[in-house]
Structure 1
Amino acid sequence: MRIHLQAGDVIFSEGDAPTTAFLIESGEVEISATQHGQRIVLSHLSPGDLLGEMAVIDDAPRTATAIALGDCMLFPIDRAQITERLSKTDPIIRSLMEGQLKRYRGALAAMQGKRDKLSEISETPSEQLGIGKIRLETHLREALVNDGLDVRYQPLLHVASGRIAGYEALVRWTHPERGAISPMEFVALAEETSLIVPIGEYVFDTACKAVTRFIDSGADPKPFIAVNVSARQLGHPGLIERIVARVDAAGLPRGSLKIEITESQALNYGLVADVIELCHRHGIKVALDDFGTGYSHLSHMHRLAFDTIKVDQAFSRAMVDDPRSLAIVEAIVHMGKALGTEVVVEGIETEEMLAILRRLGCDYAQGYLIGKPQTLDELLGAA
């Protein structure tokens, strides 16, 4: 509902409750505040400007007065509209914004000679969350520079031969204060920033050295190592060329490193198709990870020439007792065979589950029965 005002009409006054913000459609508005008993003009706002939003955002009394300088038309924006949008904003951006508001309020209070100075204004919950993310991101950057990240390797069993064919590289981080940080937390944080690119490069470097050590230790067959790649990494120029350069420099077979792409709603078919084509040109295989969950779509298999499908453990863990889950796993295995695609089933924890995969003719099994993620030294020591 539009609000029409005439010259001199007060929109809100200092000390009023922050119920609404406003967008100026037409006209001009003067913002003023009281300083030592004198009214001072802070700004003049014109069409397209917002007013009153700061008080609504930090839920504090108005710190200024807004008066129409002539005929004006305003669009009110209620608290619910602002709160809904803020709740979907990145916590770091929200924290920066709230910190700016806090400094503004503190400076204005000091100018007006009021008691609630900047130092007396406490952090909001979202500000604490945002600062926490910034701090964690800083620590993650330090860990990357100081070799504070660790790569574990989980084995993949070739079901028909019963031999370990390769490993999946899984990056881990032990924080000096918090201890082990969940990959879901720090990898997600890295994907929000440019950090995921150097972390990915670190994992590829480490995995390439690991393959060399496996081969030098006499591993037979020569294993491959699969590395997860995010959408952000896929879009980074020269990714595949750098992988090939590492493998060639180490004197390893081109198939020593594989990449895994996780299903997502944002899967860019054009980009992924180009990456797969380039990988195949250089002898690198590409897997579709976590198939069957999230934003699973058969178009991924119809339109993209993946070499491997990795079936999510949500199906395998239930397939012994749940005929529907077993039917899904069986259907995916059959689809893989029809498409000439290898199939890996994750989450294999019992001999009974492994026996099902043998019966279905599945290519690879992964899970705690096959082996937990371990450091390279642990794996070579056990070999």
Structure 2
Amino acid sequence: MDVTATLSLGDPLEPARKATAEMLQNRERTFSLPQPFYNDERLFEIDMQEIFQKEWLIAGMTCEIPAKGNFLTLQVGKNPIIVIRGAEGQVHAFHNVCRHRGSRLCTSEKGKVAKLVCHYHQWTYELDGRLLFAGTEMGADFDMKQYGLKPVNVKTAGGYIFISMAENPPAIDEFLATLNHYMEPYDMENTKVAIQTTLVEKANWKLVIENNRECYHCGGSHPELLKTLLEWDDVTDPRADQAFKDHVAASAAAWDAEKIPYAHASFGLRNRIVRMPLLKGTVSMTLDGKQGCAKLMGRIKNPDLGSMRILHLPHSWNHCMGDHILVFTVWPIGPQETIVTTKWLVHKDAVEGVDYDVERMRKVWDETNNQDRRLAEENQRGINSTAYQPGPYSKTYEFGVVNFIDWYSDRLLNNLGAAPAAYLKGVVTQ
């Protein structure tokens, strides 16, 4: 809402903002959130304004816009965004809104243009957002310099494109430098998206993330995934046995020999990178555990790289193997509706039908995503009941969920300008 609307109408969410802050400040840390956080329309709007419009989001991959004029579009709540490759390889991001009468400029998901031209009245913008043409109809005193596209903060690292709509987005450069280092073996500029899927889940976005942050449910729900995945993220996990620790040590020695980064790196609770081996005898997340793509990525020679897991809150998790990379992003579209996008990336020279079979490579995560969708939707249906009340998380099996809710609570309170919850005082979450 702009300043004039705010002055004339006030903020209709102000009572909900105060109530939200109070619920977070008084909640039991190791319990799930109160019901409104999962199904209330007002709280959903607060999430969009204070989390998704202020934090850093993964908009896409640099390989999706390889050359000048290539663009991709996305929708963040009510905000259409365009990300485009400009001169000298620079990546720009803008609100996908013409400065004339507000029409969307680009209406396709991806494409390539020489200039950005509004289909409505042909206002024309340079790839860096400058207004180049508005027609003589605007009058001789019309100053085009005042009507460039509204920019969105953008940074790139390790093949990922990050955007933030905040005026002053949170610090992220330390994580991005580390991400560059860990992604170096993959040569991400020479990759391509082999497969992309979009799944609509009838559940709040936080339930989707909570489900991802624990493998407590895996044994009963993900038979395909557990043919290759070892659920532990670190040898310090209290459930990790000696056989797992020995497997990690042997894998790390092989990775060291090839100069493949793998050590656990965390940046508060928002970002984490760690490489963990897959089940012994498997090298990729396929049904048989064999390579999904015959052509390995970047400078990689050994297909047995396990899975490098990258977490980026509020909305992404990733698995990087020797033969392909999986990128998952979560996009809220309503208090009880969320889009999950999955991308499978391979070497740009890999040939479909020769180096990889699409159905074979996507099978495990198609099944897993659909299983998770059902779990999240049933979770949502139960939470909507008058019988729901916050329940306790397991401190061992669900510590990742506790971490996510801690991060979410801290960021929401911070962005609302409220005092932190007592249990979060002194906790560094950025």
Instruction: Give the TM-score category using the shorter length.
Output: under 0.3
Q: TM-score, normalized by length of structure 1?
A: 0.26
Which gives a bigger RCO, structure 1 or 2 (Cα 8 Å, sep 6+)? 2
Give 1 or 2 for the bigger CA radius of gyration: 1
